[in-house]
Chains A and B, each alone.
Chain A
């Protein structure tokens, strides 16, 4: 094992060693924070580093990495994408760690930088085919982009286009106007992973934006933008009554269809580009005769009403119980079916309600919103999130309290109300997540749940912060240990690198065989034992096909293991093992250290010898005690014997005298 590891390319620099981010040179024009990056192999090559937002991850599904190498290579092979070259964990000047995607500079300015408006022909014949081709490629890779807008589309010198690969968290950087209305009203971290229809929507808004130069009312607050979309329909709200060329209007209208199921797929749109498509006009929202009034909100559609409920939950709950909303649905909107469903939900709630309870009201509002608009977001104690945005929302500290929505069955209730495929999917998801949540940490619990829901979320805390998967952990720990050694170069400090918060991440990102090691590490206080940490870290280092040496990490572990060598009872053997550990630590591979420490023959021999030694010492102690106990008795016996000897000598003398006298 040692030989195999020694043969590994030890001098191959890690991405964190190869790239150096210069925080003094920000690069404008990106929604994510971007800085100049220097490649130490080729310092003349200009590069850009895009940093993950705080508490969020970059999307790893197209970043180069062990699990995504094939997919990233396929996408990178196509000139349609501005693909990242590598990723690494950068340390910001404030000490925080963040994942950084290294990209080549864009081939030209982004479409947002140009103030000139586009004509219909350029949009539909040049830009749209390129964007649809990108969507097809992403769709084949099983991905959504969720970040399409003029800022992420770059114009090449040859007139072509290049789309920035999906690096940012889904929808995180999108202005709300580029998002479907319900996703747009949610906080950026809770907009959900989305689907292809959301990318089609973003393409429609992009086309409209480029044609008009500026979207009317785009700078309005998200709720106002969404209200206008719900009231007038997406197309009318975004065009603001401006007349578009017929072909463009038709395509954009289809892309912006209010019903996401009505938005065409990229292949259909590409097929329709070349010919005059039939006039399919998506339906517009049904408007009520009289508006509803909820708090300060006024509207005419049921989606507007759902939005108003999310804005005024207390007033909405009161209006529901008083029957105002049911009456509006029945009399003004004329939707008797919807009114009957609402009445059914309220009747069910009245039967189950034990008293005024904020949580019960929140569950009621979730169901009411779901029947008003199945595409709506969930509302939980004034926080809005999409069902598929639960994971990123939970990862955000500001929204972590929506975990109680999952616990109280809010997600499942939403699914039951929506019905169809989403009911089964959300019920199964709730069951799975709750089972995971109730599992004993680190295999369960809230932290593990967050990592399970966010497969791209890097480790959030401790020395492994920024690690994207288990194979990153050793490098990060080595860097951490190296920094510690630089601060205290004299003695390698005894250091246990893994801490409690790291375990849920490792349990979520490690293969099954390692999960058992992590579980074992978390139980019975083993986390504070250096040998158990060595076992887990050696397994982590072995995950990589070409493990990199970690001499500083190994040195810290070897120092920590010195205290743990007490389980070797033979002092000479202990010294030998200590020296062997130090020698292996200098090489930087942990598996040989583990072998030295856990050599079964050595352990068995040591244990047998120790038992013999203990027996021998017990015997010695017993004999010492016996001698000390019996000494007075022996002394008394010796005294008695001495007196008897004196008497015997005297008797002999008498006998001798008598014999001599008799003999004359």
Chain B
């Protein structure tokens, strides 16, 4: 599946166009400003959202659905620690350590893994549902065809029609 996913990503990857380059620059500037102005908080977020950020870096699909789901769940888990950390005014980089406890990191990373897992499982479930529906309808049609063929010699009809043409 990984190979398939990678292949899918390769297919869906698009090079950054010239028109979007300013957005990358803007993103970089904003990130730089945030790191400069709120470096400890950004460190905390970086620790908590590390799997999602790695996924964001690694995933090459255009809309990065896996990274997005992981990031969103990671952010959901990081809301409370970040608020607690920002409440500690003037805290330095070391003050990140109590907040980013092993439990908090495990929770956050688990939720991000859950996001990744959901993003992988939901399409599979959808595809399976489509396959089941298709097979059921085809079986219905096959039964219907058998019933008609049991009552009528269709081949002679087709031969007669062919001959008539």
Contact = CB atoms under 8 A, between A and B. Distances in A.
B150 A646 contact: no
Interface string B119-144: 10111111101110010011001101
A568 B153 CA distance: 8
Nearest to A650: B72
A566 B159 CA distance: 11
A631 B157 contact: no
A242 interface: no
Contacts of A657: 75-77, 79-80
B118 interface: yes
B145 interface: yes
B115 A645 contact: no
Interface size class of chain A, counting residues whose CB lies under 8 Å from the partner chain: 35 or more
Interface in B101-125: 111, 115, 118-119, 121-125
A576 to B, nearest CB: 13
A616 B149 CA distance: 10
A614 interface: yes
A650 B150 CA distance: 54
Interface string B137-165: 11001101100111111101110110000
Nearest to B153: A569
Interface string A608-627: 01110110110011011001
B68 interface: yes
Contacts of A41: none
A614 B155 CA distance: 9
B148 A616 contact: yes
Contact of B123 (A624, A631, A638, A656): A638
A654 B75 contact: yes
Nearest to B70: A650
Contacts of A261: none
A656 B83 CA distance: 15
Contacts of B142: 624
B134 A617 contact: no
Contacts of A645: 122
Nearest to B73: A650
Nearest to A606: B152
B141 A624 contact: yes
Contact of A638 (B65, B127, B156): B127
Given A635-B127, A638-B123, A646-B65, A571 B150 contact: yes
B154 A569 contact: yes
A646 B69 contact: yes
A634 B151 contact: no
B156 to A, nearest CB: 5
Contact of A650 (B69, B125, B131, B148): B69
Nearest to B68: A647
B118 A646 contact: yes
Interface centre among B75, B125, B138, B152 (most CB of A within 10 A): B152
B126 A638 contact: yes
B119 A651 contact: no
Contacts of B137: 627
A639 interface: yes
Given A631-B130, A642-B125, A654-B76, 10 more contacts: A567-B156, A611-B157, A627-B138, A631-B131, A635-B127, A637-B130, A647-B65, A650-B69, A650-B76, A658-B76
5 contacts: A614-B158, A627-B134, A638-B130, A639-B124, A639-B126
The 5 closest A-B pairs by CB, nearest first: A638-B126, A642-B122, A639-B123, A650-B72, A642-B123
